[in-house]
A = this chain, B = another copy of it.
């Protein structure tokens, strides 16, 4: 008998194929927590005691060193983090904070590891999820190392364009300062970058972005299916 409250994550790829028995074990020690916005829920270096799943809201993974900070990715509905640390029983490499009011499922890492050893279907789902995350990170790395900040910005806008149903009026999903950090640039530079993209058919008004010339932007940004 799986408690009602965990039914939502049952539908995510990571749990879709596990047996009821496994799911029962996974949720037995699990709990759900509601976080306010801007709350640091995980700090890098800490032991990975729980696998986290964002049920709703928005969570940013970021890292720090020597007084600097950088945003790595932003997670939404049904995303898991941080699986690799949980599996390997190693400390988190990234910190996590909520950007909005968020509801997060937390499953004890021990239970994840034991079910993972006992349920081949869960093991397969984990491999799938890890591969997906790994490949996403490699793409991110290529983006960073092969492109200038302006090219990254252009491709980010094109990615939003595709994700938001090929519309030409785009809504930025996160604050500009966080976007800047994600793209590996300063907020000032992002601001100037958005201005520079006017020359390639991009208009900006607050959180709204209008692609006035998709062809020009595409020609400039050169999106690539092995990166974007």
Could you list which residues of chain A lie within 8 angstroms of chain B, going by C-beta atoms?
44-45, 63-66, 68-70, 72, 83-85, 87-88, 90-91, 93-94, 116-117, 120, 123-124, 126-128, 130-135, 137-142, 144-147, 184, 222, 224, 226-227
Contacts and interface: CB of A to CB of B under 8 A. Distances in A.
Nearest to A92: B226
Contact of A147 (B65, B120, B141, B146): B65
The 9 closest A-B CB pairs, nearest first, are: A84-B131, A65-B146, A70-B145, A130-B130, A123-B123, A134-B134, A84-B134, A88-B131, A137-B137
A105 B91 CA distance: 33
Contacts of A133: 134
A144 to B, nearest CB: 6
A154 B26 CA distance: 44
A162 to B, nearest CB: 18
Given A126-B127, A131-B84, A226-B93, A68 B146 contact: yes
B124 A117 contact: yes
B184 A145 contact: yes
Contacts of A141: 72, 137, 140-141, 144
Contacts of A147: 65-66
Contacts of A123: 120, 123-124, 127
Contacts of A140: 141
A135 B90 contact: yes
A62 B132 CA distance: 19
A228 B85 CA distance: 16
Contacts of A131: 83-84, 87-88, 130
Nearest to A65: B146
A221 to B, nearest CB: 10
A88 B131 CA distance: 7
A169 to B, nearest CB: 28
A146 B70 CA distance: 7
Contacts of A130: 84, 127, 130-131, 134
